[in-house]
Structure 1
Amino acid sequence: TKTEDSFKIETVEENNEVHTFTYTKGDDYMMIDGEKVSVEIDYEVEKELTDSSSPKLLKASAWTPKYMSTGSVKISKTVKTLGTLVGVIGGTISIAALSGVTIATSTIASTVGHWASAVGLGTIAAGYAFNGKIQFKQYRTTGLVSTGYGKKLYAFRFQDVRAIGTLKGKKMDKQLKSVGSWFFNSKPY
C-alpha cells in the first residue's frame, strides 16, 4: 500500500512466511520486520551549462532529453531468505518511488530472483549482509513542451534505473528499467 508520503510492503514466501517493510518520506530508516534499518538517500545534481560560446551543430528538439541528476537509495541488511532479499530491494525501490521512479513488482521479483538463484539459496540462508542501492538518473526536456492543457512546461523522466549490490562477494548490477515515461512537475527533486 502506498500513500503520498509512505508505503508498506508485505512479501509472502512459499512457506507462508510474511515480511513487512514500511517507510515514511523524510525518515533516514526503513522498518523491516519491526527492525529499524538505515537508508541513505543521495542526489548528485548536474550544474547548468552556462557556456554559450560553443558552436551548436544541430538544433535540438524541445523533447531531447537533458541529463539533470543521479539519485540513489542505499541500504545494508542481513538477509536469510529470498523473500527478505526481494523485499529489501523492493522496499528500496519504493523509497525511490516516492520521488517518481516506478518499477513493476514482477520486474523486481524476476530480476532479483534470477540473480539470487545464481548466488545460491544456501548462501542467502547462511545470513550474509546485502549491501546495495537503487540508482536512477533523471532527465528533463531541453525545452518547454506542451502539457496538453494550454501550458508549456519542462517534462521529466527517470532513466537507467538499476539495482546494484553485493552479497558475500557476489555482485549484482541489474537494469530494472531503461527509460521511464515523461511527467510534468514544477520541482523535479
Structure 2
Amino acid sequence: MTARQSKQITDPQALRALAHPIRLKLLELLTVDGPATGRRLADLTGESTASVSYHVSQLVRWGLVEPALDLARGRERPWQATSRGITWSATGDGSPEFAAASRALREQFIARRLAALDEFQRREDEFDTAWREAAWIGEDLGHLDPAELTEATQRIKAVLAEYTDTARPRREGARKVAFFAYAVPVPDDPS
C-alpha cells in the first residue's frame, strides 16, 4: 500500500483500538509529518516513551504503522504510517458491535477537530492578518439524495487531496492546516 492511499478498516476491534485520542494523535503525526522515532513522538505528544511504545504497538497490530527500516540509525527505531489515512463504514457488517465501534471512533475524530477549532478561536490573535483572513468557517444546507451526497463528498475529498498529499512540495510560509467537514442528513422538522 502506498502512503497516498487510505486504509479501509473493516474489523470492529480495530475501530475500537483506534478510538483512543493518543493513538489518533500518533497516527496523525506519522501520516502528516512523516516517520518519527518513539522519543520524537513522546516529545510531540507529551506522553512517556513507554506510553508511546504501547500505543504504537497497537497501531502496528492493526496494520496502520510499520517500522521505517530505511531510516533506522543505531538504536533509534523510526515508525511510519502505512497509509495516507483511514476510512470505515458507519454500519460495516451490520452488527451492533461494529456500529458502536464506528460511532466511538467517529466521536474521537469529531472531538479532535472541535478541539482544534476551539484552540484556533482562543489563539486567533496570535496569527497574522493573512492567516486570520484565510481561515474559513462556514456552513450551508441543501436537499440531496444519498447518491448526490456521496458524489459531493467524493468531490470535496478530491479537492482536499490536492492540498494534503504528502508528496506535495511545502511552500515557503506554509503551515499545517486542519480541514474538518461534515455532511449529514438533518432530521425532519416535525413542524
TM-score by structure 1 length?
Answer: 0.23
The structure carrying a bigger strand percent of its residues is: 1
TM-score by structure 2 length?
Answer: 0.23
